[in-house]
Structure 1
Amino acid sequence: MTFPNREIVERVRRDYPAGTRVELVRMEDVQAPPMGTLGTVEGVDDTASLLMNWDNGSHLNVIYGVDAVRKIE
């Protein structure tokens, strides 16, 4: 896995501040919530992964460059 540079991490932090609502589009993990699950971003770590609180109770993070979500406006 290649880690994103500082500029990417800062961009993700600007685009997904804590409290942002998202919908899961794709997650490559056997324990992933079902596609379409809604959740709230709790923060962004130093690898640009979204720290999540999914509405179904899961806290599985969204991995930058692997998983995908879309913002709920």
Structure 2
Amino acid sequence: MLKERVEQVIEQKVRPALQRDGGNIELVDVDDAGVVQVRLRGACAGCPGAMMTLQFGVQRILQQEIQEVTKVVPV
């Protein structure tokens, strides 16, 4: 299932990097169009660079690992 694969990549490749900077990420949902909804936590929640982190970090990693991911959006 796509959501499980996304969660696995977040656990292994995304979350550790965010936690090093005092933040965290929560997977909210993945729809049939490949749109991944996430919630940034901790230091990431109020960070001015959060959108950059989502687009050039989280989204890039997920798209490299999982072809079906089309974009990552915050909720």
Q: TM-score, normalised by structure 2?
A: 0.36
The structure that is helix-richer by fraction is 2
